[in-house]
Chain A
């Protein structure tokens, strides 16, 4: 093996160039006025320059496309495109050429060549061209392995390979936060940060809910019949910018019945993110299933069905509560007690029997109360006692109401 000459020329040359989107040529406008020393010269020079915009030479951004200057960065979810050219540098005809392009990632090896058929012959100064595309699905080191095999005129079989290594980087940072409303609704805040080095146009950031939920996107407002994004005209994210999206999830009817007994970890759905960068270079990512820890409700859950947001001082108002037996198999016999607080005064009889409540079933309860103090008041003081187990459940800070003086006209 060592006998081989140190450098044996191959007849074929393999060249690989990454095809990121081309860029537009920008020029440096330098103008002068008629009365200045150069007269019209500077302006004439700009008009003669083919890279300026005809009729608007001062406009920096031209129309001339330039090929990518360097490899650039590649991010997860983007498409890796590459030009592979095998050129016959020799002056003889080469036969049975087979070009293969494989992409080796840390977990797999993919074949990217469009065709695996051998080319019968390649004349001198001709090329075999291939453009490969691959949507990058893994982060970290990737190696493009290009292998070329061919037969010389002398019948000698030749083979060589080249390796091109590149790193795939993470484009986005996604953080989420859940907020459980008093009702069964769940709000999801998602912060998406652009951690690339170029501006990123967010084409789509949507939440694909799991089967249990319906989702409402709260990222646009209706202004005069038109849906306007809450982000205004700024449709893109500068590098390191973070944007916060908000979604409201409601359990579907069929699941809502059982919502009271949803416990532990539930799957909410996943975020689907599509972005575009330079000249429409597209990327797409999905988060994994977002999971929420359902708040623990204990054995008996008391949730609110209806409550006014603003009430008059010292005037009774009604709320509707829903009491759900969350235990797995235990029937409960409940007694409701209502304890007044400094500001909240319950109307009606305390110590009322609510009757038997079977597992996973619920009952609705209309209650009347009034507030003696103005301002935002917390509704507290409900006590449920299970007479079978002699266990009392306390419900404080169930909800807030805004109490205003009766002089102020309460709207709606």
Chain B
């Protein structure tokens, strides 16, 4: 009933507008008269009038109402609720079915009612009682040939029929033996009425008025003599060109709902956006002043000076941190007993090595290579003054220091378990066992364990704990602190996981204190006592990439590009230095040729990585031409990925709709893979052919190619999923479901991917009204396999 009311509401909104339209003036005439009027066939679209002549308010109201309906991929029934008896319409129908021998008078009254109260066509469709009336003449049309005319008129304009249908309604009710009520009869009646309406000449739909003077038309081109043109579907061309003069319509593009490629307004169009409502949820940070003290003893390997201490004090705890970072390989550090001795660094380097000197040397070579970075001029000056002891670090402006701290201290939670509690009960939920931050070793080892079993939320928590132990915990932001290579690695892992989880806002607030990752205290030179002789930046290169990319996920792709360009400039500079025989940072060097070569290789691949990110960012910005260029540039740095990248470019072009150019790229892929000849190349070629057929709207052929891939590699997840999608478009829902279900059962560990599950749940919803049970069984499957980072949105349970 709510639905029906809703409909009534919208109808009242629409009617004044329709009356405003020139064509609908006649509607104001009483229905009695209308019934006798025969409208010319070119009468125009009511909906169209609304757009043109209506007040803005009304339009938006209407479209809002509509937008609500569009929010789901399943088409929502507009006014009639699931149960037929909820609406008057079906009540009417049922009444018809059951009370076949209802007295004529009664039914006539009923029809009369419906016809007098409703005047508009829109009503005819959306209003329940009118749709009932709308049915009636159709039934009649088959029984009495004479009423054909009225039917014709009816299908063109509902409001014209008035009296004739009224009469016919009576006739219908007089028919004996429930014949008129037979649903099948009704069905065939329907079809006959359809055929008759199809035969009729089709009016030309005018979308553009030729007059430019209407106020609602943009006046942009008025002065230069451009004229708006009507556009219509070509199949209409045979129809008369008489273009009814409607006021020009300003189409309000409804907010685009397709996030991947359809959307333009919202640049933040990532896949995870759909699924992950967490991305937008705001965190309520719980203050946890005791976070530091609650950290278990085992954390000690990270124990760093508390924020109050001045960073350059060479203190035992420092050396502990330093020792670990010097070791380079973090796993090694875990085995090293904590040592308060100031020279533990050297011991660490020596540990477990046959030739300690060689190891030390190569380690520092590798460090130099990896950590190299070119600071900005200001930062360089500070670093030089630190090195020459001209000033104590104490005097450095607070502005130039990096003072990070946790901005929220507990995001832990397991959405899968929450859903299980809600849908499967406590008992089932109790079975769900995932690791949390406390159930693993409070160290890098435990952290890695959490990451690899996909408990990223717990891993984020653990990073938080470890950072708290380092004095950068909750509420420590803005307080002076010191950095070690490890603390920065922890920050990198934490922020990277937040991004992976789609918690971009959270990552953003915690990234903020790092500014542009160029403050002097992020360089080894700033801590000459802790890292004697070591140069370069403590910020991992991947963190710079992450720092830049984060902005695009927050809807600032331009900022992302700016940051990426800055990183790219430094990479290029370092490469240029290396090629000129200098050290990475431009200093003179005594680097061996092999080491130089290794360094060039490293920095080339880093430069390629930056270009890759740029290409991805341009893709998000929908600047496809530049994105294609950027991906082509990436090929130079990662030649081994050429076939994949060319295929990717082909898919981009398919997405835009440029099938021909896409085909060219796919052909290039075939040329490249011919040289390789391997299983993977074959699959790539088949995949591309399948996509090309998709682009040509040939789902059957696409299906054939996807199945061909499965013949070569039956476990190919993409081919499995895509085959299923093609089957659905071919009208084979059950087959499609079987395909996907088999795939998920075959290897749940691998195939419980959000994209697959999303497709599966979508099909369940389409299949029957009992999709809930099936979704819940999926939830159970997920619960057994997936960690806390699983994105529950794709199950569409909520």
Contact of B644 with A55 in the complex, beta carbons under 8 Å: yes
**Which residues of chain B come closer than 8 Å to A200, judged between CB atoms?**
657
Interface string of A4-33 (1 = CB under 8 A from B): 111111100101111111111111111111
Query: How far apart are A99's CB and chain B's nearest CB, in angstroms?
Result: 9
User: Does A201 belong to the interface (CB within 8 Å)?
Assistant: yes
Complex Cα distance A105/B232, Å?
15
Contact of B755 with A280 in the complex, beta carbons under 8 Å: no
Query: How far apart are A224's CB and chain B's nearest CB, in angstroms?
Result: 19
Contact of A21 with B694 in the complex, beta carbons under 8 Å: yes
Query: How far apart are A41's CB and chain B's nearest CB, in angstroms?
Result: 5
- B758-777 contacts to A (CB < 8 Å): 758-759, 762-763, 765-770
Complex Cα distance A84/B245, Å?
37
**Which residues of chain A come closer than 8 Å to B619, judged between CB atoms?**
60-61
Contact of A278 with B657 in the complex, beta carbons under 8 Å: yes
**Which residues of chain A come closer than 8 Å to B612, judged between CB atoms?**
58-59
User: Does A400 belong to the interface (CB within 8 Å)?
Assistant: no
Contact of B69 with A71 in the complex, beta carbons under 8 Å: yes
CB closest chain-A residue, reference B645: A56
Complex Cα distance A248/B694, Å?
37
Q: From A70, A72, A100, give the contact of B187 (CB < 8 A).
A: A100
User: Does A116 belong to the interface (CB within 8 Å)?
Assistant: yes
Contact of B656 with A201 in the complex, beta carbons under 8 Å: yes
Contact of B236 with A137 in the complex, beta carbons under 8 Å: yes
Contact of A31 with B235 in the complex, beta carbons under 8 Å: no
User: Does B227 belong to the interface (CB within 8 Å)?
Assistant: yes
**Which residues of chain A come closer than 8 Å to B489, judged between CB atoms?**
36-37
User: Does A82 belong to the interface (CB within 8 Å)?
Assistant: yes
Binds B, one of A46-54, A255-263, A323-331, A359-367: A46-54
User: Does B125 belong to the interface (CB within 8 Å)?
Assistant: yes
Contact of A167 with B258 in the complex, beta carbons under 8 Å: no
Query: How far apart are A161's CB and chain B's nearest CB, in angstroms?
Result: 7
CB closest chain-A residue, reference B194: A111
Complex Cα distance A111/B190, Å?
9
Q: From B47, B651, B728, give the contact of A67 (CB < 8 A).
A: B728
User: Does B478 belong to the interface (CB within 8 Å)?
Assistant: no
User: Does B391 belong to the interface (CB within 8 Å)?
Assistant: no
Contact of A110 with B624 in the complex, beta carbons under 8 Å: no
User: Does B652 belong to the interface (CB within 8 Å)?
Assistant: yes
Complex Cα distance A55/B695, Å?
24
Query: How far apart are A128's CB and chain B's nearest CB, in angstroms?
Result: 10
Complex Cα distance A73/B260, Å?
14
Complex Cα distance A36/B44, Å?
67
Binds B, one of A190-198, A304-312, A333-341, A382-390: A190-198
**Which residues of chain B come closer than 8 Å to A111, judged between CB atoms?**
190-191, 194-195, 198
**Which residues of chain B come closer than 8 Å to A21, judged between CB atoms?**
694
**Which residues of chain A come closer than 8 Å to B427, judged between CB atoms?**
none
User: Does A228 belong to the interface (CB within 8 Å)?
Assistant: no
Q: How large is the interface on A (under 10, 10 to 19, 20 to 34, 35 or more residues)?
A: 35 or more
Q: From B77, B183, B243, B366, give the contact of A164 (CB < 8 A).
A: B77
**Which residues of chain A come closer than 8 Å to B256, judged between CB atoms?**
72-73, 197-198
Complex Cα distance A239/B197, Å?
37
**Which residues of chain B come closer than 8 Å to A71, judged between CB atoms?**
69-70, 72-73, 75, 257
Q: From B264, B659, B722, give the contact of A65 (CB < 8 A).
A: B722
User: Does B431 belong to the interface (CB within 8 Å)?
Assistant: no
- B642-669 contacts to A (CB < 8 Å): 643-645, 647-648, 651-652, 654-659, 661
User: Does B372 belong to the interface (CB within 8 Å)?
Assistant: no
**Which residues of chain B come closer than 8 Å to A45, judged between CB atoms?**
451-452, 454
Contact of B622 with A170 in the complex, beta carbons under 8 Å: no
Query: How far apart are A72's CB and chain B's nearest CB, in angstroms?
Result: 5
User: Does B270 belong to the interface (CB within 8 Å)?
Assistant: yes
Binds B, one of A173-181, A294-302, A391-399, A402-410: A173-181
Query: How far apart are B514's CB and chain A's nearest CB, in angstroms?
Result: 16
Binds B, one of A282-290, A348-356, A369-377: A282-290
**What are the 8 closest A-B residue pairs judged by CB atoms, nearest first?**
A140-B47, A276-B657, A149-B183, A201-B657, A111-B194, A141-B47, A56-B644, A50-B717
Q: List 27 A-B contacts (CB under 8 A).
A: A1-B92, A15-B765, A15-B767, A19-B729, A33-B541, A37-B447, A37-B486, A38-B493, A41-B448, A41-B451, A64-B722, A64-B756, A89-B768, A96-B183, A108-B202, A127-B733, A138-B233, A147-B187, A150-B183, A165-B66, A170-B249, A198-B256, A199-B261, A200-B657, A279-B694, A287-B208, A288-B229
